[in-house]
Structure 1
Amino acid sequence: MLVSYKWLQRYVDLSDVSPEEVAEQMTRSGIEVDSIERKDEEITKLQVGKVLACEKHPDADKLSVCQVNVGEENPVQIVCGAANVGADQYVLVSRVGGRLPGGMKIKRAKLRGVESEGMICSLQELGFDGKVIPKKYAEGIYNFPTAYTPGEDAVPLLGLDDVILELDLTPNRADALSMLGVAYEVAAIFDREVLIPETPIQATEASTEDMIDVTVDDTEDNPYYGATVIDSVTIEESPVWLQSALMMTGVRPLNNIVDITNYVLFEYGQPLHAFDLDQFGSTEVRVRRATEGETMKTLDDQERSLTAEYLVITNGQQPVALAGVMGGANSEVSHETGKILLEAALFNPVRIRQASRELGIRSDSSIRFEKGVDPNRVEAAAARAAGLIQDLAGGRVLLPEARIDAMNRDEQIIPISLAKINEVLGTSLQSEDVLDVFRRLQFHVNETEETFEVHVPTRRQDIHIQADLIEEVARIHGYDLIPTTLPNTATTPGKLTPEQQAKRKARRFLESAGLSEAVSYSLTTAKKEASLGFGSEASRVHVALPMSEERSALRTTLIPHLMDALSHNKNRNNYDVHLFELGSVFHTQEQVVTKQPDEMSFLSGAFMGSWFEHAWQGEQRPVDFFAVKGVIEGLFQELQIPAPELVTSEKDGFHPGRTAAVVVNGQALGFIAQLHPAVSKEWSMPEVYVFELNFDQLLSLSGGTMKYEPIPRFPSVERDIALVVSDEVQAGELERVIRQSGGPLLKQVSVFDLYAGEHLEPGKKSIAFSLKYLDPEKTLTDEDVQAVHEQVLAAVKEAYDAHLRQ
């Protein structure tokens, strides 16, 4: 909402208050002022000039040489390039030495050999937005519709000596969508009176109710409809003050009739509409629901298809307006109009909202009807507009009007006690303080002991319950005067949940391991996931109204997004990149999704390039499967999860010999893999290794609090064994048997060598393990170690026919 400070002062005396102070106090009381714009801040030496003569430039087809009277003894010569400049026009002249918005300084100039002593200005050059300038002056200079004194200061004539306040209104404050609504707010803040404008109407012998029949099919849809005939009108350009007021609020002036209805719309917050009565088609006005499939052409020349949910104004047969949203093209006011039908009505907000939303028409009228207009201002707004049409268009107003009236004008009465107000606000206000607030808000109050019966004016349709009244008291009394207190309820300190703690711990570990965290969209495409073999179509959730094809489905994996990030880095010559993401994925078991999909937390990583590099020593190690495996093992240890077992597996899109499932206690938690070379080639990527883990399952296996053991006082004993087994036996299987058979003395098992080839039978391989034995209570003897060691050898022989390599 744009508020003209000059316009506002017509209703509230603010002569001793600056716009900045008004903006500050309004913001403090709950209506935020986003910006303050002084329209004349950069304008100097702008005067009215009368063009005495206008001739073609002798050496330029598109230039004119004008002799302009600027109130001095001799006219000044100005070269102008506007096509619409002509003699006897009253124009805007920026004199030599003057300035215009944007820092333009006017200097004497010679254009194609002809002296020019100033500039004849367009409205755009004075800072007006092109979309609010009258179409007549959209191209070329502006000339006043009436005569003014040459040399007169043009700034106040155009309303440029104004300050515009831009309000950021919350949805409940529909009352502030009008100048009078803002006036009541400012008057309450500064304790001033509100002056309601009056425009007397001259009586006539004829009346509208004798000429027009009004019928309303359903008064729930349309509680009030008033129609006033005004004849003998002259359609012409509006006076400058009216054009200026509209342009300052962001509205393009059209003609005096339409401009008056828009002016009253912003003044009272009451939408009005003027029909050309000669083009209306009948003397009957019927308000009804549209029939299914019915069509009409609106003022924007669009053919609209209507439904039975929309409300229309008809001439008894065909629609002439879409009620509360936009008028029809068949009865639009034009320069040939001599008689108008002025509509003032109250419509059901639901009907207006539905039509506006479904047809994509967001008008100043529909916005106000949707949020609710004041029922006690409908007739006053109509009278105000009729009076202005009488004064500015020479119209003859035929009263009384024709109307249907089933409107509820009653004020809402809300009882509230002083104790309740003080209890909620934590204040110790007296009755006089509260009564003073309601007086300034112009709320009538009946006081009984310490209870107030507050009559809420219909203009404040945001106030319904006691909490609303308490808010009004707090706003006007002053939020900054409310004492600061602590809650009087028992409180508990905030803390992280176990899941949040685990996520933070995982992030910190991975960052310390050299990975960077990535954050990506939860939306993706089925094609991108399918290229990596993820997510069946049955488990994927598609978005009903996607923003784009790239964001058309919920992701079922994090890997493709990490691949996008690696590709982005590679394309910018950053080849050594290691990323992880901890985020949500979505799966469903329904063919047609009718309920929320399953949301799970996944932890994924992607590695590309070198794992570490020492340029000085010339040492470089690329990322491989075992580097990723080490990160996973370290993460499990950090989260107090048993060491994972890696089981060879195959996944579409990944290297068949370098893919392993991550298993703990027989439960598959995810996988580690190298991207298949063919897929890497499609993405134009080098070798890429990834992992993905179901973080929710990980948390279910977490051992909880970390436990520490004292540093052993006695030495350990290490034994190395090289076991010859079949090629099909995996090292993890052997390690599991060794740990189970080693008992409490066996503290550590690790693989340090793998051999296959010469000196071994075909189909055999040798896996070497390092075993560490330790007793925290004593020094182990050879006999102690040998007994356990032989148990280990016997167990692996029995399980996998493994024997020591000779």
Structure 2
Amino acid sequence: MLVSYQWLKKYIDIDDLTAEEVAEKLTRSGVEVDLVHSMNKGVKNIVVGKVLECEKHPEADKLNLCQVDIGEDESVQIVCGAANVAKDQHVVVAKVGARLPGGMKIKRAKLRGQTSEGMICSLQELGYEGKLVSKEYTEGIFPFPTEMTPGEDAMEALNLGDQVLELDLTPNRADCLSMIGTAYEVGAILGRDVKLPETTMERGQENASDYVSVKVDANEDNPYYGAIMIKDVTIAPSPLWLQTTLMAAGVRPINNVVDITNYVLLEYGQPLHAFDYDRFGSEEVLVRRAKDGEKITTLDDVERTLTADYLVITNGKEPVALAGVMGGANSEVQSDTKNILLEAAYFKGTTIRKASRELGLRSDASARFEKGVDPSRVRAAGERAAKMIAEIAGGTVLSGIVEFNELDVTPKEVTITLGKINGVLGTSIDTDTVKEILSKLQFTFELEGEMFRIFVPTRRQDIQIEADIVEEVARLYGYDNIPTTLPNTATTPGGLTEVQAKKRKARRFLEHAGVNEAVSYSLTTGEKESHFHEDADSLSRVKVALPMSEERSTLRTTLLPHLLDALSHNKNRSNLNVSLYEIGSVFHTEEETITKQPMETAMLSGAFMGLCYEHSWQGEKKAVDFFVVKGIVEGLLKELKMEGDVQFVQSEPKGFHPGRAAKLLVNGKEMGVLGQIHPSVAKEWSLPETYVFELNFHALVEGKGKEIRYSPIPRYPAMDRDIALVLDETVKASEVEKVIVEFGGDLLKNVALFDLYQGEHLEAGKKSLAFSLRYQDPEKTLTEEEVTKVHESVLAGLEERLGATLRS
């Protein structure tokens, strides 16, 4: 809901408060104001001008030379390219030195040899959105609809000094979907009265009942229908104040009659509809449920097929409006309309919601009926609109309102005790304070001891039970005034579960490693997942019974396709160095027809492309490769303190590059996979060389973590030995490391591979691996003989087990 500050001031005295202060008070009382934005988007020094002369530019067919009176001693010449500029128009002129939105400054200029001293402006150039500008002026300049005084400030006339409060309303606060409702809320906060619009008017001698009758067959859906007759109107553009007021509220002006119904909609929160009486087709208004297959062409010129669930306004024969949603094209107000049948009705919200949702037709009217309008203001809103039409469009309002009325306007009664209010809020509010709050809300009440019997006005249909009254007292008392107290029940200290703690550790580690978190849908397609599954038709996939689209038809069994989607999205926007991870659930089932919940498993996946490191000053670049990803996974396992035998075993899982992928084994149990995705798979996503990993996070967190043990810093020095071994190229470095550790005994503290060599000076089928070994005894200084003895045992074990020899 957009609330104009200047418009709000018509209903409540807030001259002593700025728009920002009103917004702050509303937000603190529970009606959140998202932002306050100014209608003036940097515009300065614009005035009213009168076009004295308008001739074609001698050097350009699409330009005009205009002599414009801007209230100064002499007129100025302005070159204007608008097709609709004409002599005797009153227009908006940005003088030399003026500012327009975006910081644009108007300067004296020469256009095709002619001097231009200023600019004749359109509304869009002054900051109004194109969708809010009247269709007549969506192209070209904006001429004022009435005579103005040349030289006067155009800011005020165009309402550019206004500020707009954007309310973010919860569904229960339908009362604030109107200016009067918002005024009541501000009045309750400030303790001030609300001034309601005047609805009394002079009426014609003729009776409305002589022209129209009202019959309602669906009285549960439509307990009130009022028809007002207005004769001899003149359809024309609305006055400027009405147009700018509607534009500030986010509504495009159409014509004076339609604009008035929209104005009253925003003012009262009550939807209205104006029919062209002469096009209506009869003197009878019949409200009924539609017939199955019945058709209506609505105001948006779309033919719609109806069902018996929808409520329609008919002329006794055919539908002329879809009740509470949109009028029909066959009876809309047009430029030659003379007589108006004005509808003010109350429709059941659930009926309107069903029609609006199923037809995909949502309007300001349907939104208000769905949430609930004030039944006590329906008739008053109709009279207010009729009065304005008579004043602005020059019509005559006929005597009486033709009504069907079974509407219950009895205030709802809620009882509550003072003790209940204080007990829920944890306060010690006294009776007088509660009475004052209820009076500010304009809730009438009776007090019997400590029992309040409250009669809630119909405009507040959200107030139903005791808890609603407690909330109202809390809001107006002030949330900041409610004391902070601890619960008086036995409590247990909070904390993270083990799974939550490990998720947090994993996230922190990966983000510190420069990997960003991604969040994706749990729904995908079998086609995408088939790139990573051996059996594309496996029954482990869970299909959605009623998918919203083919792209979201199955529950995912892997996170990888979603991460590849994210990489592709970034690549298409020239973000080429991207590293992402996601922790999320995957789903499997063994049933062809799902009769029970699928198995849900938490997975941790990552995807990398481009550079993992770049130092522009030193010119260093490091592209992501298998070992970068392997290092991240190893670091993650260390962070999670995984205990046991961790192995990376070369494998060729589906969707991965052969020779550049491995399975992760922990204590012999498969925990995941990592490597480069296959070039053909990367091509499906239009990706460059890409590396991924996917780990069974559920299994990882279930595993027992290593206990942290501390040992003193060694007092005695270590001795390092390097060995270069010649082995068969099929022997893995991990196998060599295991043998070294086995034969190194307690003195061997660290083993590190630092070189791999294949090529010249080595036999075919052989390779050289170089390791650095560190020996140390925490109790004494090792002698050369002791280290040599252990070292020779290591070499002997390598030769015996793996056929390794020292490289000469």
The answer, yes or no, to whether TM exceeds 0.5 is yes
Partner Cα separation in structure 1 for residue 187 and residue 663 of structure 2: 73
Partner of 1:92: 91
**Structure-2 change in CA distance of 1:402 and 1:518 (3 Å):** same
Q: Does 1:458 align with 2:458?
A: yes
> For the residues of structure 2 that align with 1:288 and 1:654, how far apart are their CA atoms?
64
Give secondary structure in 2 for the equivalent of 1:399.
Answer: coil
**2:277–2:339 CA contact under 8 A, matched in 1:** yes
The aligned residue for residue 46 of structure 1 is: 47
Q: Counterpart of 1:10 in 2: which secondary structure?
A: coil
State the match for 1:197 in structure 2: 197
Q: CA deviation at 1:644?
A: 4.5
Deviates more, 1:59-68 or 1:127-136: 59-68
Instruction: Return the index of the structure with the highest Cα Rg.
Output: 1
Shift of 1:334: 1.1
1-structure distance, mates of 2:304, 2:211: 30
Q: 1:120 to 1:627 in 2, by over 3 A?
A: closer
Aligned equivalents of 2:455, 2:318: Cα separation in 1 = 43
Match status 1:211 vs 2:195: no
Q: Distance in 1 between matches of 2:405 and 2:23?
A: 39
Looking at structure 2, the residues matched to 571 and 151 of structure 1 have their Cα atoms a distance apart, in angstroms, of 50
Judge conservation of contact 1:91–1:120 (CA < 8 Å) in 2.
Answer: no
Q: Is the 8 A contact 2:519 2:582 kept in 1?
A: no
* Closer, same or farther: CA 475–612 of 1 in aligned 2, 3 Å: closer
Find 1:641's aligned residue among 643, 661, 684: 643
Q: Aligned letter for 1:601?
A: M
Q: Which residue of 1 aligns with 2:123?
A: 123
Match of 1:519 among 517, 520, 538: 517
Compare 223-232 and 471-480 and name the one that shifted more: 471-480
The answer for the alignment partner of 1:764 in structure 2 is none
Give the structure 2 partner of residue 172 of structure 1. 172
AA paired with 1:277?
A: Y
Secondary structure class of the residue paired with 2:398: strand
Unaligned runs of 5+ in 1: 715-726, 755-768, 778-792
Q: Where in structure 2 are the equivalents of 1:414-563 lying within 5 Å?
A: 414-505=414-505, 516-523=514-521, 526-533=526-533, 536-538=536-538, 539-541=540-542, 549=551, 554-558=556-560, 561=563
Question: Could you say which residue in structure 1 is the equivalent of 2:760?
Answer: none
Say yes or no: does 1:702 pair with 2:704.
yes
Classify the secondary structure of the residue corresponding to 1:531: helix
Corresponding residue for residue 101 of structure 1: 100
Q: d(CA) in 2 for partners of 1:383 and 1:622?
A: 74
Deviations 1:16-71 (A, max 9, x none): 3333332332233222331131549634351363x555444555544445555666
Q: Please list the CA deviations of residues 63-104 of structure 1 after superposition, one character each: whole Å capped at 9, or x if unmatched.
A: 4455556667876665544433344x4503537456353355
Supply the distance in 2 between the matched residues of 1:134 and 1:686 (Cα, whole angstroms).
50
TM-score, normalised via structure 2 length? 0.78
Structure 2 residue matching 1:651: 3-state secondary structure: coil
Which position in structure 1 is the counterpart of 2:290? 290
| Equivalent-residue separation in structure 1 for 2:257 and 2:296 (angstroms) | 23
Distance in 2 of aligned mates of 1:147 and 1:573: 56
Cα deviation 1:691-743 (Å, max 9, x = unaligned):
543222233331564567999999xxxxxxxxxxxx99999999999999x9x
**CA separation in 1, counterparts of 2:149 and 2:356?**
47
**Equivalent residue letter for 1:42:** V
Contact 1:123 1:141 in 2 (8 A): yes
Q: Is the 8 A contact 2:664 2:672 kept in 1?
A: yes
- Give the Cα–Cα distance (whole angstroms) in 1 for the partners of residues 250 and 439 of structure 2: 33
Separation in 1, partners of 2:399, 2:574: 77
Q: Match for 1:438: what amino acid?
A: L
Deviation at 1:187, TM superposition (A): 1.9
Partner of 1:651: 653
Give the Cα separation in 2 of the matches to 1:243 and 1:77.
Answer: 29
Q: Name the CA shift for 1:110/1:363 in 2 (closer, same or farther; >3 Å).
A: same
Moved more, 313-322 or 197-206: 197-206
Give 3-state SS (helix, strand or coil) of 2:36's partner.
strand
Report the counterpart of residue 83 of structure 1 in structure 2: 83
Partner of 2:250: 250
Query: Which one-letter code corresponds to 1:35 in the other structure?
Result: V
Q: How does 1:623-702 map to 2 (within 5 A)?
A: 639-644=641-646, 651-654=653-656, 662-663=664-665, 667-671=669-673, 692-702=694-704
Partner of 1:758: none
Q: Any idea what SS the aligned residue of 1:251 has?
A: coil
Q: Which residue of 1 aligns with 2:726?
A: none
Please tell me whether the aligned partners of residues 375 and 407 of structure 2 are also in contact (alpha carbons under 8 angstroms).
yes
Q: Cα distance, 1:676 vs. partner?
A: 6.2
Farther-moved stretch of structure 1 (28-37 vs 325-334): 28-37
- What 5-or-longer segments of structure 2 have no aligned partner? 717-728, 757-770, 780-795
Give the Cα–Cα distance (whole angstroms) in 1 for the partners of residues 562 and 236 of structure 2. Answer: 64
Q: List per-residue Cα deviations over 1:621-664 (Å, max 9, x = no partner).
A: 99998998888778667634332567786633456778765555
Partner amino acid, structure 1, of 2:276: D
2:92, 2:143 within 8 Å by CA — same for their partners in 1? Answer: no
Note closer, same or farther for the CA distance 1:770–1:537 as it changes in structure 2 (3 Å cut): same
Which residue identity does 2:132 align to in structure 1? V
Q: Displacement, 1:497?
A: 1.2
Residue 600 of structure 2 corresponds to: 598
Q: CA deviation at 1:292?
A: 2.9
- Aligned mates of 1:139, 1:770 — CA distance in 2: 78
Per-residue deviation, 1:328: 0.7
* 1:138 counterpart = 2:138: yes
The letter of the residue matching 1:483 is P
Matches within 5 A, 1:274-289: 274-289=274-289
Offset of residue 323 of structure 1? 1.2
Question: Structure 1 counterpart of 2:90, which letter?
Answer: V
Contact map agreement 1:746 1:773 (CA 8 A) in 2: yes
8 Å CA contact retained: 2:199, 2:380: no
Q: Which amino acid aligns with 2:396?
A: R
Q: How many Å apart are 1:186 and its aligned residue?
A: 2.0
Q: Deviations over 1:475-531 (max 9, x none)?
A: 33333333344444444333221123334455677789xx65353454455444433
Which residue type is aligned with residue 588 of structure 1?
H
Match of 2:183 in 1: 183
After superposition, the C-alpha distances for 1:268-315 in whole angstroms (9 at most, x for unaligned) are 110000111111111222222223333221111122232332222111
